[in-house]
């Protein structure tokens, strides 16, 4: 292996993409499985069922908020480190890592304090008051998940930092270890000890502690950019640059929370006006079902984001080293791969919705549950291919250092379109309007993404000709 990270500028692009993207995909998939595995076991516990599913959906956005803080610091640090190493500025890279550690610890503790102080209000904000049993399940799950937030934020922050240091496999292994513990403990706590929502949450937190512990170990044994004691002192310029580079990642997550809040409340509001879901015993079904659809979509997006985020160190290094030709080649491969993943997701959602629903305990539910779930999968995810290409565009622009364009595009998708249409379309189409809001948002975002991608290709081609 060549000294340092210089191989990022010489190794074949396809080889680098596989080397960095595959561990990143696995890491994100495993991270997504924390909540998904909880929901699968909860759904198949007869004493929890769709009430537990709905409660899981209510609390899920809170983990997304924590993830937003983590990826802003972690992805920003990853891009900062990669660009700095490409320019040969190793001290700046070390300082970014030290500052990222401090910022992630502060973010995790702050979120925990806020969650505990405003527990009831937050649960209500995300639709947890749809009925009494859902609220009770959500409150129980919320409390224990909140206790693990500092560990979750730290582990998720360090994951991209570890990749930037040249150890994507360790980043993957640390996440796998935590998820494996969660998968083993979930059935023990939920079915064996019958701890219900508390059991699911405690299993998740134990897994997060394991991942965070491994991240601490790696921090003490970093290869390229091990920070010195002085690097843990916060530097305004380093923090600002790190957070700016990670802003797109943050906004893509935090705006997703805003969309979830809008969607959950529209489901509660227009579900109450529905002839079937207006009945108390069925009121939680729309929220539970859309939560499941989102979890399936999260699996697809984890692969998509994993491929794109895995390319951040490669893009950043080659941009810093003025190798635009390699950046263009990487963009070609990435867009093709992302579209292929979206196509697989589309086929599964459109042709196998009943099989997907069965994983989440549909056998224990009413016929209304199954009917709504089939429709939700087919409508909500009909533009999955475009959604995958959009995500790739957001992250690639961020990795190139074009934070402003990336941020604007991400905000347009998640806030302007995602929240706007989720609030507007149900006025005309009822519950179906909530489902339609996602494909409409993805289509309009894709049109904007095409414009930016054409411009990006043109700029990369010009730079290559000038060299």
Token pair recorded at residue 200 = 């699911």
| H-helix segments, 365-430 | 367-380, 384-399, 403-411, 420-429
Q: Which pLDDT score, from 0 to 100, does residue 261 have?
A: 82
Q: Which pLDDT score, from 0 to 100, does residue 464 have?
A: 47
**Quick check: helix, strand or coil at residue 151?**
helix
Contacts of 127 (CB under 8 A, 6+ apart): 57, 58, 261, 264, 265, 267, 268, 287
Angle subtended at Cα 14 by Cα 12 and Cα 20, rounded to the nearest 5 degrees: 100
Other Cβ atoms closer than 10 A to 73: 34
294-329 confidence digits (pLDDT tens): 888 988 988 888 888 788 778 878 877 778 888 888
Q: Contact 69/122 with Cβ under 8 angstroms?
A: no
> What are the boundaries of each domain within the chain?
14-466
Token pair recorded at residue 144 = 């224990």
- The closest alpha carbon to 103, from 244, 289, 260, belongs to 244
- The closest alpha carbon to 241, from 81, 41, 437, 14, belongs to 81
Q: Which pLDDT score, from 0 to 100, does residue 110 have?
A: 97
Q: Which pLDDT score, from 0 to 100, does residue 260 have?
A: 79
Q: Using CA atoms, how far apart are residues 181 and 187, in angstroms rounded to an integer?
A: 11
Other Cβ atoms closer than 10 A to 444: 17
Contacts of 165 (CB under 8 A, 6+ apart): 81, 97, 218, 222, 223, 224, 225
Q: Using CA atoms, how far apart are residues 261 and 263, in angstroms rounded to an integer?
A: 6
Which H or E element spans position 97? helix 90-117
Q: What is the DSSP string of 155-174?
A: HHHHHHHHHHTT-HHHHHHH
Q: Using CA atoms, how far apart are residues 346 and 404, in angstroms rounded to an integer?
A: 30
Token pair recorded at residue 341 = 């993943």
| pLDDT tens digits in sequence order for the chain, 467 residues long | 344 566 777 788 778 888 888 877 877 777 677 767 887 888 788 788 778 888 888 888 888 899 889 989 998 998 888 878 878 888 888 999 999 999 999 999 999 999 999 999 999 888 888 788 889 999 999 999 999 999 999 999 998 899 888 888 898 889 889 989 999 999 999 999 999 999 999 999 999 999 999 999 999 998 888 888 888 998 999 999 899 888 777 876 777 777 778 888 898 889 888 888 888 888 888 888 888 898 889 889 888 888 887 887 788 788 777 788 888 888 889 999 999 999 999 999 999 999 998 887 766 678 888 999 999 999 999 999 999 999 888 888 877 877 778 878 888 888 889 899 999 999 999 999 999 999 999 999 999 999 988 888 887 775 544 44
Report the number of secondary-structure helices (H) and strands (E) in the chain. 19, 0
Q: Using CA atoms, how far apart are residues 251 and 2, in angstroms rounded to an integer?
A: 36
Please measure the distance between the N-terminal and C-terminal CA atoms of the chain and give it in whole angstroms.
Answer: 27
Token pair recorded at residue 324 = 């635009």
């Amino acid at each position: 292996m060549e000294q340092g990270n210089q191989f990022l500028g010489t190794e074949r692009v396809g080889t680098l993409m596989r080397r960095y993207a595959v561990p990143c995909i696995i890491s994100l998939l495993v991270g997504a499985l924390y909540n998904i595995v909880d929901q699968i076991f909860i759904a198949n516990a007869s004493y929890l069922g769709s009430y537990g599913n709905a409660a899981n959906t209510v609390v899920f956005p809170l983990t997304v908020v924590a993830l937003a803080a983590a990826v802003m610091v972690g992805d920003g640090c990853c891009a900062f480190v990669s660009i700095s190493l490409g320019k040969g500025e190793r001290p700046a890279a070390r300082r970014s890592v030290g500052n990222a550690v401090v910022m992630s610890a502060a973010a995790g503790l702050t979120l925990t304090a806020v969650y505990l102080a405003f527990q009831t209000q937050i649960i209500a904000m995300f639709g947890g008051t749809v009925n009494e049993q859902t609220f009770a399940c959500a409150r129980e799950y919320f409390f224990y998940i909140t206790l693990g937030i500092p560990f979750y934020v730290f582990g998720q922050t360090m994951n991209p930092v570890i990749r930037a240091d040249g150890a994507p496999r360790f980043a993957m292994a640390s996440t796998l270890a935590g998820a494996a513990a969660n998968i083993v403990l979930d059935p023990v706590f939920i079915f064996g000890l019958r701890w219900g929502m508390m059991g699911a949450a405690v299993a998740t937190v134990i897994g997060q502690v394991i991942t965070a512990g491994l991240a601490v170990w790696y921090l003490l044994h970093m290869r390229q950019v091990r920070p010195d004691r002085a690097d843990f002192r916060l530097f305004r310029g380093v923090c600002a640059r790190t957070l700016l580079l990670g802003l797109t990642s943050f906004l893509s997550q935090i705006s997703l929370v805003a969309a979830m809040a809008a969607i959950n409340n529209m489901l509660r509001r227009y579900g109450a006006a529905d002839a079937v879901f207006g009945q108390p015993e069925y009121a939680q079904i729309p929220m539970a079902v859309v939560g499941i659809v989102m979890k399936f979509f999260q699996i697809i997006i984890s692969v998509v984001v994993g491929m794109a985020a895995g390319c951040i160190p490669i893009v950043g290094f080659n941009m810093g080293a003025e190798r635009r030709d390699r950046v263009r080649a990487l963009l070609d491969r990435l867009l093709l791969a992302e579209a292929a993943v979206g196509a697989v997701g589309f086929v599964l959602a459109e042709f196998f919705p009943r099989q997907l629903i069965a994983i989440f305990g549909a056998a224990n539910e009413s016929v209304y549950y199954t009917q709504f779930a089939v429709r939700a999968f087919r409508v909500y995810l009909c533009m999955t291919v475009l959604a995958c290409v959009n995500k790739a565009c957001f992250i690639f622009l961020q990795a190139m250092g074009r934070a402003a364009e990336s941020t604007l595009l991400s905000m347009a998708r998640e806030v302007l379109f995602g929240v706007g249409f989720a609030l507007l379309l149900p006025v005309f189409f009822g519950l179906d309007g909530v489902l339609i809001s996602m494909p409409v948002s993805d289509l309009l975002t894709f049109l904007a993404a095409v414009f930016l991608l054409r411009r990006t290709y043109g700029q990369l081609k010009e730079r290559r000709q000038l060299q």
